[in-house]
Amino acid sequence: MRKDVVVLGAGIVGVSVAVHLQQRGRSVLLVDRRGPGEETSYGNAGLIQREGVYPYGFPHDFGALLRYATNKTIDAHYHMAALPKLAPFLFRYWMHSRPEEHRAIARLYAPLIEHSVVEHAALAQAAGVTDLIRPTGWMKVFRSQKAMDAQLRDAEATRRDFGVNFEAFGAPGLAEREPHVRGDFTGGIHWTDPGAIYDPYALTMAYVRLFESLGGALAEGDARSLEETADGWRVRTKDGVVEARAVVVALGPWADLVTRRLGYRLPLAVKRGYHMHYKAQGNAVLNRPTLDFERGYFLAPMAKGVRLTTGAEFADRDAPKTPVQLQRAEPIAKTFFPLGERVDAEPWMGMRPCTPDMMPIIGKAHRHKNLWFSFGHAHHGMTLGPITGRLVAEMMTGEKPVIDPRPYGPERF
């Protein structure tokens, strides 16, 4: 079989790349070892974070660092055995998170984020699933005035510098927005621009169906079989060997399985995360995704129930599940909102592929012809999938890119 392009990895990023290439007349094969959308894209907070121009940094506040050092929080957890291996990455991550550098990174990152909602809307409309993206935004709620004041200062600066919108409210405003939320809260911040995805897996699969309707094809295969040929690339699938002129590596946290074999030493690490769905008790309704800021867990209304998601776990990518953050969060979340019985048989775990400068790796590989990278989106894979797909497709087909791709290029490492 011969194709123009093979895309390795069928998460939201790989699917979006495949759709945009197919829309531009390329014949594309989308290859994954599992079904599309069954890894990281399956389990997330379901946000299109238009406000997220500041990628999630490493804390520089001494109090926060001391709290994380106890390893008993919901928003962060680490495996002691993994720290020696992770230490070089964490140090670089910490250095890039210094306030001045973080602000500089935000200015480079913002063009991607600015296109997140409109590019999702374009694909959702083409796929006929605009109902899966709800214009509710999302909220942070606060238990102390000190925490709210600090976050409000940051929100005002972000609005001033990047044009994102929010509404601040007190306790009465929280009761009006979320009548079934309980507890002694000072108030909150409602980011109004983001979209809330009602079912991230269903949205990814809708984009897959759009890809197939355009003539794209799927195959099950092992990306590690990728090898260069005289005029392109070859990969083995369950349906046989496929050759293509170009290949896109969109393997998320598994990208290094291919890139290292080809001689690239890209600083990619993994943050793991967990979720669980719950039925709501009685007639309780959660109207929009909501973060309990000081406790560090997130609740989102989903098709399957109310999804509880945790923060970051620093561990070896392939280490067994340790959903201790979920166990810590569940009793607190039940006092926050009337969660009923668990829906899932066991906690879901996913992995976020991260770079030390908090920006994805998007662009042409500099040592090989017709090899392209598209991974490292960390917490914003779902947010940035469609705009990344458009950007990669435009670069590969010689169109003028919608934004300057140079800040995200692999050569920066």
For the chain of 413 residues, list the mean pLDDT of each consecutive stretch of 10.
97 98 98 94 93 93 81 92 94 96 98 98 98 98 97 97 97 97 96 98 98 98 96 96 98 97 96 97 97 97 97 95 96 98 96 97 96 97 98 98 98 95
User: Does residue 1 lie in a domain region?
Assistant: yes
Answer whether 0.75 is exceeded by the pTM: yes
- What DSSP state is assigned to residue 69? H
Distances (CA, A) of 156 to 42, 101, 163, 194: 33, 19, 10, 16
Distance between CA atoms of 200 and 208, rounded to whole angstroms? 12
Q: Residues in the chain, how many? A: 413
Q: What is the pLDDT of residue 66?
A: 82
Q: What are phi and psi of 355, to 5 degrees?
A: -110, 155
Q: Please tell me the total count of domains within the chain.
A: 1
Residues forming a β-bridge with 217: 29
Long-range contacts formed by 64-72: CB under 8 A, 24+ apart: 72/328
Domain that holds residue 10: 1-57+97-133+196-268+355-413
d(CA 387, CA 352): 18
**Bridge partners, residue 14, by sequence:** none
Is residue 309 one of the residues assigned to a domain? no
What is the spatial distance between Cα 243 and Cα 265, in angstroms, rounded to a whole number? 25
CA-to-CA separations, 37 to 7, 172, 202, 343, 350, in angstroms, rounded: 14, 39, 9, 20, 11
Residue 122 covered by a domain: yes
CA–CA separation, 139 and 174 (whole Å): 9
Q: Please report whether residue 218 resides in a domain.
A: yes
Give the pLDDT confidence score for residue 181 in this predicted structure: 97
Alpha carbon distance 265, 262 (integer Å): 9
Whether residue 156 lies inside any domain: the answer is: no
Q: What is the CATH number of the domain that holds 263?
A: 3.50.50.60
CA distance 32 to 8: 6
- For residue 411, being part of any structural domain is answered with yes
On whether the CB atoms of residues 32 and 220 are closer than 8 A, the answer is yes
Looking at the domain assignment, is residue 410 inside a domain? yes
Question: What is the pLDDT at residue 386?
Answer: 98
Cα Rg for the chain, rounded, in angstroms? 21
Output the pLDDT for position 59: 85
12 in a structural domain: yes
Tokens of 274: 């967990």
